[in-house]
């Protein structure tokens, strides 16, 4: 069973969620990774092989984090997505294996000729604040 973090903080500028543990270790998980690997049925589907590729999420942000019992959090993203519970085990997996998950995600995007960048109507684009 995965251990619960002792603290969770959102680093808005860096676009990542930081989890701190009792042993002093930390995990920093990019918000984009959390969004594209959401545990919701909308993203994962209802069975194996039904996962929906999420595109245009490079600059997605978090607007709210809510504790769910002693085992998970619910994250509300600024694109309106707010379903799915991020258990401690899922967060630990995403944090520890993020390089592999990002590589898989980028391969899926390339295969679908899709992008991490959002689609923005002409005339309304402003550069992101990095």
Q: Determine the pLDDT at residue 127.
A: 77
pLDDT for the residue numbered 124: 67
Give residue-wise pLDDT tens across range 28-51: 999 999 999 999 988 887 776 678
Any domain includes 94: yes
Q: Kindly state the average pLDDT of the residues 14-29.
A: 97
The number of helices, as runs of H, and strands, as runs of E, in the chain is 4, 6
Query: How many structural domains comprise the chain?
Result: 1
φ and ψ at 92, to 5 degrees?
-65, -45
In a domain, 126, yes or no: no
pLDDT tens track for 115-130 = 999 887 767 667 778 7
Q: What is the CATH number of the domain that holds 66?
A: 3.30.2020.30
pLDDT of residue 44: 84
**Structural domain harbouring 17:** 7-111
Confidence (pLDDT) at 1: 64
Provide the pLDDT for residue 41: 86
Residues 98/29, Cβ–Cβ less than 8 Å: yes
Does 91 fall in a domain?
yes
User: Is the pTM of the predicted complex or chain greater than 0.75?
Assistant: yes
Query: Looking at the domain assignment, is residue 41 inside a domain?
Result: yes
42-75, pLDDT tens digit by residue? Answer: 888 777 667 899 999 999 999 999 999 999 999 9
Please report where in the chains the tokens 């390089």 appear, as a residue: 99
49 lies in some domain: yes
In a domain? residue 1: no
Assess if residue 47 is contained within a domain: yes
Give 59-118 pLDDT, tens digit per residue: 999 999 999 999 999 999 999 999 999 999 999 999 999 999 999 999 999 999 999 998
The number of C-alpha atoms within 13 Å of 22 and in the hemisphere containing its C-beta is: 3
What CA–CA distance (Å, rounded) separates 30 from 19?
11
Give domain status of residue 129, yes or no. no
């Amino acid at each position: 069973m995965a251990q619960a973090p002792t603290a969770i903080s959102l680093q808005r500028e860096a676009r990542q969620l930081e989890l701190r543990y009792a042993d002093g270790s930390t995990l920093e998980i990019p918000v984009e990774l959390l969004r594209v690997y959401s545990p919701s049925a909308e993203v994962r589907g209802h069975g194996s092989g039904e996962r929906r590729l999420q595109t245009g999420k490079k600059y997605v942000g978090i607007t709210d984090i809510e504790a769910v019992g002693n085992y998970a959090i619910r994250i509300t993203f600024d694109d309106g997505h707010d379903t799915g519970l991020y258990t401690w085990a899922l967060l630990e997996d995403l944090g520890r294996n993020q390089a592999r998950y990002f590589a898989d995600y980028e391969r899926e995007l390339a295969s679908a000729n899709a992008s991490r960048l959002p689609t923005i109507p002409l005339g309304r684009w402003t550069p992101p604040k990095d």
